[in-house]
Amino acid sequence: AQGLAQRLATRGPQLLNAALAYSKPRLATFWYYAKVELAPPTPAEIPRAVDSMKAMVKAFQTGRLAQLTVKEALRNGLVATEVLMWFYIGEIIGKRGLIGYNV
């Protein structure tokens, strides 16, 4: 155990520098996309979202959804799953626990 502590003390700064060099560009890329993707919608984007929802309802009513390719259906399913998971994560954060609300 003492040998491990000694090796860690001597190689610790080297490992830390390597970890920082590895993670800096990846974190920069993550923050770049996080700023774009996780930003709330602007007032100009809201009418486009409403129009797209209307188009989806119309496509469902006319049966056009049955003509989707497998790739499009899979992509739509993944987007719906992502939205649902964000909802569940928000619920967990809101109630500050996994089960039930504090009453």
Show the tokens assigned to 16: 């830390």
pLDDT given at position 103: 63
- Is the overall model pTM greater than 0.75, yes or no? no
**Chain centre to alpha carbon of residue 46:** 21
What confidence tens digit (pLDDT) does each residue in 37-78 have? 888 888 999 999 999 999 988 888 888 878 888 998 899 899
What confidence tens digit (pLDDT) does each residue in 22-38 have? 999 999 999 999 888 88
Angle at 75 between CA 48 and CA 89, to 5 degrees: 80
